[in-house]
Structure 1
Amino acid sequence: MKKIIVILLMIGIFLLLLIYSDFRNANAKLGENITVSKEMDDFILHIRIENTQEGIEVFRSLQYIGNEEVVVHHQSPLISVSMDHKNHDFTGSPVNRTLKSGNVYIPQDPDIFPIPRSEKMTNIYFEARFKVNGEWKVIDHVEELHFN
């Protein structure tokens, strides 16, 4: 009988700790909004990460700063985003886009990711992959996210 009471008490304590840790992280937010620009050749990858009610919202765009007009060839998405995974998937339809100097190309809507419930820090991975004048361009970026 004592063993059953001890086991039930231990299970109860475990469940209370589990519920407490879940509630403690339920209101977690991104520590601060993040803006990053990464330049490669004639292109700049712009990234903005913000808090929302649903989690974190990730905006990204590609800016062309070269002198001559160019045609960018890419598969969708142009800029892949993944949280906690380094792998990127570019399996969408092929797209061609003509860019002039100063053009900012925003081919996708922002992505919304839930805030990790059990972690105070995680990585978010970005990869822009496209072809210009027959040459592949890849711009990678990893951002460390901290949650309060």
Structure 2
Amino acid sequence: MKKMIIIVFILFLVFFVYIFASAQGEVTRLDKEKSIEKKLDDFILHMKVERGDNGIKIHHSLQYVGDESIRIEHQTPLVSISLQTKNHDFTGSMVPKYLQKGSIYYQEPVTLSTEGKGEKNLYVKAKFLADGEPVNIEHVETLRFN
């Protein structure tokens, strides 16, 4: 009788460990990596969305393709990125940057955590002044997670 109780207890224990391990193993992953370009006047916003360790990683940069040198000024961040909720927050003092034709202004990659499967919108907004004139580049990209 004791052996039977011990065997049943071990089976239940193995079953619960298996269920717990299975639940922990479900990771939401980006279905397909994407490269995106959004052009506005003399500027191109480049983005690459890829799978990260704990969600998605977005590499982004601003390229200037105009003929004359230009001064841009922006708050932090230059490019605001959010997932599911359109939430852009630009703060701090203005940061100046001089760009020549073909210059690419690289930004630190952004990592966003993801939960749940299905489609989610990635909201992107670059906001800056180009020679004193406001420039806003906005883009919405639908991403699929499985």
* TM-score, scaled relative to structure 1: 0.79
Equivalent in the alignment of 1:69: 69
Helix, strand or coil at the partner of 2:141: strand
- How big is each residue's C-alpha offset from its partner over 1:107-148, in whole Å with a ceiling of 9 and x where there is no partner? x311111122x3311111000001112210000001111012
Equivalent in the alignment of 2:5: none
Structure 2: which 5+ runs fail to align? Answer: 1-18
* Change over 3 Å in CA distance of 1:62–1:33 after alignment to 2: same
Equivalent in the alignment of 1:8: none
Distance 2:69 2:84 in 1: 36
Superposition RMSD in Å? 2.0
Helix, strand or coil at the partner of 2:23: helix
The number of aligned residues is 128
Equivalent in the alignment of 2:97: 97
- Indicate conservation of the 8 Å contact 2:51/2:57, yes or no: yes
Distance 2:101 2:109 in 1: 24
Equivalent in the alignment of 2:133: 135
- 1:52 offset after TM fit, Å? 1.8
Equivalent in the alignment of 1:83: 83
Distance 1:86 1:28 in 2: 21
> Identity percentage over the alignment?
40
Distance 1:80 1:33 in 2: 19
Runs of 4+ in 1 over 4 A off after TM superposition: none
- 1:24 offset after TM fit, Å? 8.5
- How big is each residue's C-alpha offset from its partner over 1:49-84, in whole Å with a ceiling of 9 and x where there is no partner? 000222110111100000000000111100000111
- Work out which of the two has the higher radius of gyration on C-alpha atoms and give 1 or 2: 2
Which structure shows the higher strand fraction?
2
- Indicate conservation of the 8 Å contact 2:28/2:117, yes or no: no
